[in-house]
């Protein structure tokens, strides 16, 4: 049977590889929904902090994740071309989930299998209708292995740290280059070495090397690959 749903695109890769920038641009170009799965883990880490739950407590964090999903406490809002806003319990947490502390917390809570299980169906439900660009670490391998096209983005740790540093500085945050690089390396280690759904390239993914490549060229390369998808 030929599927009639619109395509699902997945973009995975390590922190700072440029996934969000290109995912947003491609979603706008295609008129697709943009799903930032990292924002979901970040929101759970933030909710844990606010509930005084230790990020390393897998069961307690999983209970928080279940509560968020079951009671529809997480909401994304993004006007076309605008920036995505994330709401937890109706409160805008878009900036609060982007601090280096929450980055580290998201990496820690996302290593727990029960936390990932609690968030899996939520992600699949959003993508099931199609017309979605999802980005994260396991969107092509675990969340949506039947995706129509999977990209895996790569860039050197130094380049990724430099981008993250510029991004945080532009937001007026106090940042240190070496600390940013150390944080990227530590997150890479945690994200690739965890037992459940580690960051890895799907066997059928298209590699996208972005070190030293202008973002516009990266987007063009990916858009051309998407154009080659069979028409429905």
CB of 11 closer than 8 Å to CB of 137: no
- Interaction between residue 210 and ligand DC (CB under 6 A): no
> From the list 184, 191, 202, 222, which residue makes contact with ligand DC (rule: CB under 6 A)?
191
**Per CB under 6 A, which of residues 81..120 are in contact with ligand DC?**
106-107, 110
Which of the stretches 35-43, 48-56, 80-88, 178-186 binds ligand DC when contact is defined by CB under 6 A? Answer: 35-43
Q: Are 84 and 94 in contact (CB under 8 A)?
A: yes
Least distance in Å: CB of 222 to ligand DC?
A: 17
| Dihedral angle sign, alpha carbons of residues 216, 107, 110, 76 | negative
According to the binding rule CB under 6 A, does residue 137 interact with ligand DC?
A: yes
List residues bridging with 10 in a β-sheet. Answer: 134, 150
Helices 37-50, 113-128: axis angle to 10 degrees equals 140
DSSP H or E stretch at residue 152: strand 149-154
The CB-of-93 to ligand DC minimum distance in angstroms stands at 13
Q: Which is nearer to ligand DC, 1 or 24 (CB)?
A: 24
Residues forming contacts to ligand DC in the complex (CB under 6 A) are 15, 37-38, 41-42, 106-107, 110, 136-139, 187, 191
């Amino acid at each position: 049977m030929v599927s009639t749903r619109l395509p699902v695109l997945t973009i995975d890769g390590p922190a700072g590889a440029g996934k969000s920038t290109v995912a947003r641009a491609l979603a706008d170009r295609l008129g697709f929904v943009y799903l930032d799965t990292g924002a979901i883990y970040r929101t759970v880490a933030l909710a844990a902090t606010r509930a005084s739950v230790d990020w390393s407590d897998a069961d307690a964090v999983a209970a928080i994740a279940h509560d968020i999903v079951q009671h529809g406490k997480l909401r994304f809002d993004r006007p076309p071309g605008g920036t995505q806003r994330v709401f937890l319990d109706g409160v805008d947490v878009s900036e609060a989930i982007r601090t280096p502390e929450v980055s580290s917390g998201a990496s820690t809570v996302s290593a727990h299998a029960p936390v990932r299980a609690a968030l899996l169906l939520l992600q699949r439900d959003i993508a099931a209708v199609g017309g979605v660009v999802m980005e994260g670490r396991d969107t092509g391998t675990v969340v949506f292995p039947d995706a129509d096209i999977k990209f895996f983005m790569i860039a050197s740790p130094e380049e990724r740290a430099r981008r993250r540093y510029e991004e945080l500085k532009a937001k007026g945050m106090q940042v240190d280059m070496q600390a940013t690089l150390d944080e990227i390396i530590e997150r890479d280690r945690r994200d690739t070495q965890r037992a459940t759904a580690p960051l890895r390239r799907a066997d059928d993914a298209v590699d996208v090397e972005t070190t030293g490549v202008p973002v516009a060229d990266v987007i063009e390369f990916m858009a051309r690959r998407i154009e080659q998808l069979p028409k429905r």
